Amino acid sequence: MSGPVFPQHIIARKRDGHILTDAEIASFVRGATDGSWADYQLSAMLMAIFLRGMTPAETATYTAAMMRSGIVADLGSVKLPKVDKHSTGGVGDKVSLHLAPMVAACGVAVPMISGRGLGHSGGTLDKLEAIPGFRVSLSLEEYRAQVERLGLCLIGQTAELAPADRKLYALRDVTATVECIPLICGSILAKKLAEGIDVLVLDVKFGRGAFMKEKAKARELAQALVAVATTMGKPTRALLTAMEEPLGRAVGNALEVAESIACLKGRGPADTMAVTFALGEQMLLLAGVATTAAEARRQLEQSLSTGAALSKFRAMVTAQGGDARVVDDPALLPQATIRLSVPSSRSGWVQDVDAMQVALAALRLGAGRARAEDKVDPAVGVGALVKRGERIEAGAAWAIVHANDQRAAQEAVAMLTKAMVVGDQPPPAVELIGELIGA
């Protein structure tokens, strides 16, 4: 191809179903980084990719270009194996908050760069910022130094890491091109592989409260993520996990921090801990500090029983400017002024708790963002949730709304009355942990 290649030529080639060259993909990503492609051209290209797709080779090239659009963190001075975990997002998914210190307490470095919540799905950064004073905006040098010193750091994406993704993600969000597997791979992996990690474990969720509703589609995404990351030299595994009901018993930022602290003290909800252990086992196996899942499980359990994981969490909170007193007294976390019970209309066995309905109620309260610029209230949410398969009596509370606005509280209660189903018999068991991809 001779002479200059204009954005419209590259857009037309993908529109017509052609496989793009490495140079064409690089031009697209560079255009998002330096502004040489207009927003309308970037948007047209995103739609062309959405409609025509990308081959595995194109997706790997795109992901590498996204990763290299900024700085790739150098954690060579950190001698421990470096592993991260990423979740595709769900309702009540606070696993990163306690899983990271558990794994770090087992002799593995966990450098984790996380995101904020948007829409119904919560964000790790918003949860961490519910801890008074906690800083998620560290420089790359502060990040590297903390990982070297503590073996643990949870921060937000810096300006230097994968800047093309910030631009393209914002455009995807407003052009109906979010649900595209090549674009998802590029967005997730560009940030994760720019962290300086050695290996990666993914939690790919499916169900009503997940980004991917169908298990088959979640499997397709997991396989693509594992294939691209492995091609780029980063051993990666993915677990499929169900997101039909909220994970744990709390949805909302401060409420979820308090639940994660309970997990670190050995008092976590059974479903939350099942997902935590399943992911933690794979992290330790990939990092090479355990040779069997049973051995990895023992190490993780020991990190809880000895208090080592809780100590890691406390040290991280202190290092990042947070009030570590919340570890001993979660009541120091932001508290809502209004609490309303949601009563069960009848006695029986809980058949269903709709994760999406609970998420939308929490969103109405202000626990999340309908738009990127919305402010989050860290104190509000839905707590004391019942779980599928539990027995409940008529009039008993199956959830408690935490609110700072009376109208929002009443509307959330009305929304939640549709979220729980009670029956006469215990429901059949459902699979929470699905298949492992990349084993």
Catalytic residue among 187, 260, 303, 344: 187
Q: Percentage of residues in the chain with pLDDT exceeding 70?
A: 97
What does the alpha-carbon distance between residue 307 and residue 266 come to, in Å, rounded to a whole number? 9
**CATH for the stretch 337-423:** 3.90.1170.30
Class of domain 7-53: mainly alpha
85, 94, 167, 191: which is the annotated catalytic residue? 191
Report the distance separating Cα 288 and Cα 205, nearest Å.
25
Give the closest residue to 224 by CA, choosing from 211, 238, 209. 238
Domain spanning 83-327, CATH architecture:
3-Layer(aba) Sandwich (3.40)
Comma-separated ranges of CATH 3.90.1170.30 domains in the chain: 337-423
d(C-alpha 186, C-alpha 169), whole Å = 10
255-278 confidence digits (pLDDT tens): 999 999 999 999 999 999 999 999
Active-site residue identified among 86, 167, 312, 364: 86
Closest to 122 measured CA to CA, from 154, 87, 92? 92
Residue 246's contacts (CB-CB under 8 Å, 6 or more residues apart) are 90, 91, 92, 209, 353, 355, 358, 359, 382, 385
Q: What is the mean pLDDT of residues 184-213?
A: 92
| DSSP output for 372-423 | TT----TT-EEES---TT-EE-TT-EEEEEEES-HHHHHHHHHHHTTTEEEE
pLDDT of residue 1: 45
Active site residue 405: no
C-alpha 71/C-alpha 56 separation (Å) is 24
Residues 239, 439 contacting (CB under 8 angstroms)? no
Laid out side by side, the sheet with 420-423 consists of: 391-392, 348-353, 420-423
Residue 306's CB is within 10 A of a number of other CB atoms, namely: 11
pLDDT in tens, 14-25: 999 999 999 999
Buried b (16+ CB within 10 A) or exposed e, 41-77: bbbbbbbbbbebebeeebbbbbbbbbbbbbbebebee
Catalytic residue status for 371: no
Picking from 8, 5, 76, 73, the residue whose alpha carbon sits closest to that of residue 44 is 8
pLDDT value at 118 more than 90: no
Percent of the chain past pLDDT 90, that is, above it, reads: 85
- The reported pLDDT for the residue numbered 26 is 97
* pLDDT reading at 3 higher than 60: no
151-180 residue pLDDT tens = 999 998 888 889 999 899 889 978 889 889
DSSP state of 433: E
Residue 183: pLDDT band (50, 70, 90) is very high
Q: Among the options 68, 98, 127, 172, which is catalytic?
A: 172
More confident residue, 14 or 372: 14
Furthest-apart CA pair in the chain: how many Å? 75
Instruction: Tell me if residue 86 is catalytic.
Output: yes
pLDDT at 132: 98
- Active site includes 191? yes
Out of 84, 93, 165, 271, which one is annotated catalytic? 165
Query: How do residues 89-112 score in pLDDT, each as one tens digit?
Result: 889 999 999 999 999 999 999 999
Mean pLDDT confidence for 101-127: 86
pLDDT of the residue at 174: 83
Single-letter residue type at 287: A
pLDDT at 373 over 80: no
Q: How confident is the model at residue 121 (pLDDT cuts 50, 70, 90)?
A: low
Give the Cβ contact number of residue 245 at 10 Å.
27
* Band of residue 57 on the pLDDT scale cut at 50, 70, 90: very high
Rounded to the nearest integer, the mean pLDDT of the chain is 94
SS3 state at 245: coil
- Residue-wise pLDDT for 4-46, tens only, equals 679 999 999 999 999 999 999 999 999 999 999 999 999 999 9
- Reported as a single tens digit per residue, the pLDDT across 332-363 is 999 999 999 999 999 999 999 999 999 999 99
Alpha-carbon span 384 to 389, nearest angstrom: 15
Residues of the chain with CATH 3.40.1030.10: 83-327
Confidence of residue 320 (pLDDT cuts 50, 70, 90): very high
What's the pLDDT tens digit per position in 375-426? 899 999 999 999 999 999 999 999 999 999 999 999 999 999 989 999 999 9
Query: Which residues make up the CATH 1.20.970.10 domain(s) of the chain?
Result: 7-53
Asked if residues 427 and 349 have their Cβ atoms less than 8 Å apart, the reply is yes
Q: Are 204 and 222 in contact (CB under 8 A)?
A: yes
